[in-house]
Amino acid sequence: MDFSSVPPPSGAFTIGKTFDFEAGHRLPSLPPGHKCSQQHGHSYQVEVILTAPALQAPGFVTDFGALSLFKKFLDDELDHHNLDEILPFEPTSEHLARFLAGWFIQNVEPEIPGRLVAIGVRETQRSWARFDVEQR
């Protein structure tokens, strides 16, 4: 079979990478009987989703290694911290996803060819939130 005869369709490329960190928090605005109003912790997973209309050599949206600045931020600033003590908002997964998207856009995106589509934050295997960035 001649594979060169397969025409490439139009579209965009999307990649994702997942990062981990451990942190504690509580949600003090919840009623005292709610389990999340008590101090507790999570093994957070943060997924970064990027897109590009064309690939950079050798065929990347963004080299995964170029995302190391984001991993360093998570490790240095959030890992093994009490999120209530360091973040300027109540640390729900939704708020955390939006905050991390803003940090990524400000600090990582200018240095890479891909554009951020979304940040997902997973507290458990069954509980997650995602912030989708408006098209820019």
Please identify every residue annotated as catalytic. Answer: 36, 80, 123
Q: Residue 5 and residue 22: Cα distance in Å, rounded? A: 49
Whether 24 and 36 have beta carbons less than 8 Å apart is answered as no
What is the DSSP code string of 4-42?
GGSPPPS--EEEEEEEEEEEEE--TTS-TTSGGGS-EEE
Residue type, 29: S
Residue type, 44: Y
Maximum Cα–Cα distance across the chain: 67
Q: Is residue 95 helix, strand or coil? A: helix
